Amino acid sequence: MTEQSTIERFRYRIRRDASGAWGWLRDRMDSRPRFRLLVIGLAIILAVLVLAWAALARGLPDASGLVDYETPLPTVVRGTDGEIVHSYARERRVQLQFTDFPQPLINAYLSAEDKTFFSHGGVDLTGTANAVFDYVTKLGSGERAVGGSTITQQVAKNLLLGDEYSVTRKLKEMILARRIESVLEKEQILELYLNEIPLGRRSFGVQAASRAYFDRDVGELELHQIAFLAILPKAPERYGRSQNEELALTRRNFVLDQMVANDFVSEQEASAAKAMSLGLVTQRSTRSADAGYFLEEVRRQLIDLYGETAEDGPNSVYAGGLWIRTSLDMELQEAARDALRKGLSRYHGTRGFAGALATVNPDNGDLISQLRSSNLSINYEDLVIAVVTEKSGSSATVGLTNGETHRLGRVPDSLDVGDVIAVRKSGSGYSIGIVPEVSGGFLAQNPQTGRILAMQGGFDSRLGAFNRATQAQRQPGSTIKPFVYSTGLDHGLTPASEVPDEQFCYYQGSRLGEKCFTNFGGGRGGGTHTMRWGLEQSRNLMTVHIAMDSGMENVIDTFERVGIGSYEPFPAFALGAGDTTVEKMVSAYSALVNHGKKIEPSVIDYIQDRRGKVIWRSDNRNCDRCNMDEWDGQPMPRFGARGEQVMDARTAFQTVHMMQGVITRGTATRLRALDIPLFGKTGTTSGPTNAWFVGGSPQIVAGMYLGHDTPRNLGGWVQGGNTAAPMFLDFVRASKGRWDGDQFVAPSGVRMVKVDRRTGKRVFDGTPSDGPDASVIWEAFKPDTVPPRSTRADEIKAMREQIIEQIRAGRALQEGAGLGQGRSDEPSDFVEDQGGIY
């Protein structure tokens, strides 16, 4: 018999049997009315079920999307040494592969949630029947029935449907579970479940929960801890609370019994586990460096690049699972933080209570709850944050974030209910802690790469996110002068050129009239001096003369090229009257050290996606021939030069070389005690309202300022040399091992010539010295600008001018004392008498 005839015979039999069955059904329906009603009823029920299934299934999510599903993961941040320093997370999530889960953990979840997982097709009919029965018995009671969901159904609920409590959701869950089983292997489903299940304490997945409850990785858990994690899917917020420990123990022991019943553990192992306490941790160890301002700057840049949440794209900050390598150097960061805090506290001195750190409104409810939700805190010595809950006369009651309340005695009259203050333990009680009202910013950078190594934008980032290192617009004062001098060097002057230190006036127009500049303190100067001396002593009048002789438009152009800012071509801006930031000033000084090449400052080195692929890097230089399959016999390929040449390399070195004299014998001589090659410049703005120092070594450039957020007078004795420079001194001393003492290297085209320090004339006798009293020094010149040899008459003239200057200074001091303008508490070793702006 052929195959075709067999098929035809089979079809004939089907038609015959179907026709006979239909005839039998029709005869029964005609002869038996009850049977007819039964058939019609079943048909209606079947039609309703089909229509209901179609209605439920029509709008369901596509289960095949789970094949490429990616767990929302936090972004992990590493420091310059590769160590994890922080993570950006609103939920605790860690993604593991199936092979990473310990088998006892899998067994515990199967015993607790779905022991037939590997045999059913997505829905456990027995469990579903039990759930239906429980639902019917509890109908109208307000109690929630048991779920009866398989692990696959829970995956459908958690990832595709949501947690709505309804029969409709349960039916949709069952449909989706069948679909999920058709597109994913059992191991893939279990991997999704163990990574996504919500387990309390803001943790999703077993690894995150293991850290949250036990501060351990899943591979380090013991049996009783594994069993505890397996009870959490039922009621994570109930079982995870200390007051429900007995409930948790009962449920945990039930899971252990189920593991015994399923032959996953022995009776002895289960008994030993039952004897153990829960052992939950109240506080888990965190991997977060005390670098809040730096890390917030990284977060801000990441959000600008990729967005904040999963809706913004696959690489978002809070869901993309990015790995960020930053330039954060924790040794330098801690040194910068401590140096700024010490400087602010040193200025604050014994002024006492500086006012409330913040205020919460008593009309808005419980003050302690408001304090908790404010996220204000402090990490300094033994201080903690508190809110004033009651005030009575000279005493007050404060509440801490942990709910404790304490009485304070002898509180300031200005203190009021709702004020947030810092307090510290004092004997058996608490007393008010002092946080300086004055603030400031500090930033350190590698001048060769532009990498920001440390950033402190205030006393403590937990008290406020405003970053004074990058966001505060402040007048830089005399720290801007090196760029005026560098403009002069580009327009024919040399470090040895003589510049008048005399009053400078210019006509501003018929409405404003004539404007005259003076040195700091009102001095009109006198005589002529070398450019070097003018920069070392921060002479305003000499700076204005250089700026006007070089052209203010050219000076402003220099400011713009190095990135300080863009201003109108008015002489006041040559003395630091325009606003800028610490970051911009440090970047500009780094360009000087880097032989005139400006590299944009960066806090992120590179970004990797969750799979480790680099998707962004700050250094975008190409390296030709770096990826060859084999060596071609040619020299090793190298990266090209980095940065933009914004200044003549020779000019940049000349400026740095002059600023080394600021440390040796100028306005920052207190830094001479460090005994390493340094350059820098102090700055003080009129008032004074800001005190600055910017400088460093060939490897590290740092900048800092001190001032009130709303600028106001700091006190007549405050200047950069005695207020900001000591911060840099503390910074270097705290990180002394990072300062190797390398000298600043001159670029090609610079000639080092022996000159008389006072006259700037070339000399052939004597040995140059870096000492503060040296008469002969090395000076840097461009080849065609070397000065002629000095004569004996020049030396006599220089000595005479020095004596006259000393006499004038002495007379000015006596006149100031006679007019009652002196300060008995002014530091006797203060040398910056010519800084800041007019």
From 27-36, 517-526, 747-756, 774-783, the region with the lowest mean pLDDT: 517-526
User: Is residue 669 predicted with pLDDT exceeding 60?
Assistant: yes
Among candidate residues 478, 590, 602, 697, the one labeled active-site is 478
Spatial separation of the C-alpha atoms in residues 579 and 690, rounded to whole Å: 11
Give the residue-averaged pLDDT of 499-505. Answer: 85
pLDDT (0 to 100) of residue 9: 63
**Both structure tokens of 477:** 């004062």
Task: Tell me the angle at which helices 481-490 and 582-593 cross, rounded to the nearest 10 degrees.
Answer: 40
Spatial separation of the C-alpha atoms in residues 494 and 783, rounded to whole Å: 11
pLDDT (0 to 100) of residue 821: 39
For the chain, helix (H) and strand (E) counts, in that order, are: 24, 26
Asked if the bond preceding 688 is cis, omega within 30° of 0, the reply is: yes
Placement of tokens 């006596």 in the chain: 814
Structure-derived torsion over alpha carbons of residues 824, 825, 829, 831, reported in degrees to the nearest 10: -90
- Residues with Cβ within 8 Å of residue 181, at least 6 apart in sequence: 121, 122, 152, 189
More confident residue, 292 or 428: 292
CA 79 to chain centre: 11
More confident residue, 599 or 138: 599
- Reported as a single tens digit per residue, the pLDDT across 300-310 is 999 999 999 98
- Reported as a single tens digit per residue, the pLDDT across 606-628 is 999 999 999 999 988 887 777 78
From 407-411, 427-431, 434-438, 524-528, the region with the lowest mean pLDDT: 524-528
- The one-letter amino acid at 628: M
How would you label 410-444 residue by residue, b for 16+ Cβ within 10 Å and e otherwise?
A: ebbeebebbbbbbbeeeeeebebbbbbbbbbbbbb
- Reported as a single tens digit per residue, the pLDDT across 426-442 is 888 899 999 999 999 99
Placement of tokens 């109240």 in the chain: 282
Pick from 423, 431, 418: which is nearest to 402 by CA? 423
User: Is residue 815 predicted with pLDDT exceeding 60?
Assistant: no
User: Is residue 832 predicted with pLDDT exceeding 50?
Assistant: no
Give the residue-averaged pLDDT of 564-582. Answer: 95
Placement of tokens 């021939």 in the chain: 625
From 166-170, 177-181, 358-362, 818-822, the region with the lowest mean pLDDT: 818-822
Give the residue-averaged pLDDT of 777-800. Answer: 77
Question: Is 113 considered catalytic here?
Answer: yes
Spatial separation of the C-alpha atoms in residues 811 and 803, rounded to whole Å: 13
Among candidate residues 87, 111, 113, 210, the one labeled active-site is 113
How would you label 200-224 residue by residue, b for 16+ Cβ within 10 Å and e otherwise?
A: bbebbbbbbbbbbbbeeebeebebb
- Answer yes or no: are the C-beta atoms of 210 and 88 closer than 8 Å: no
Report the share of the chain in percent with pLDDT over 70.
80
**Both structure tokens of 136:** 């019917």
Placement of tokens 């040398």 in the chain: 831
DSSP string, 502-552: E-EEEE--TTT-EEEE--GGG--EEEEEEHHHHHHTT-HHHHHHHHHHH-H
Pick from 682, 703, 706: which is nearest to 438 by CA? 706
User: Is residue 543 predicted with pLDDT exceeding 50?
Assistant: yes
Give the residue-averaged pLDDT of 805-829. Answer: 49
Angle at 390 between CA 384 and CA 393, to 5 degrees: 110
| Per-chain mean pLDDT for the chain | 85
User: Is residue 17 predicted with pLDDT exceeding 90?
Assistant: no
- Reported as a single tens digit per residue, the pLDDT across 68-77 is 677 889 999 9
- Reported as a single tens digit per residue, the pLDDT across 233-273 is 888 888 888 788 889 999 999 999 999 999 999 999 999 99
pLDDT (0 to 100) of residue 141: 45
From 45-49, 395-399, 468-472, 703-707, the region with the lowest mean pLDDT: 45-49
* Secondary structure of residue 208 in the 3-state scheme: helix
User: Is residue 819 predicted with pLDDT exceeding 50?
Assistant: no
Give the residue-averaged pLDDT of 675-687. Answer: 95
pLDDT (0 to 100) of residue 522: 55
More confident residue, 736 or 793: 736
Spatial separation of the C-alpha atoms in residues 86 and 34, rounded to whole Å: 75
Spatial separation of the C-alpha atoms in residues 541 and 564, rounded to whole Å: 22
Rg of the chain over Cα atoms, rounded to whole angstroms, equals 38
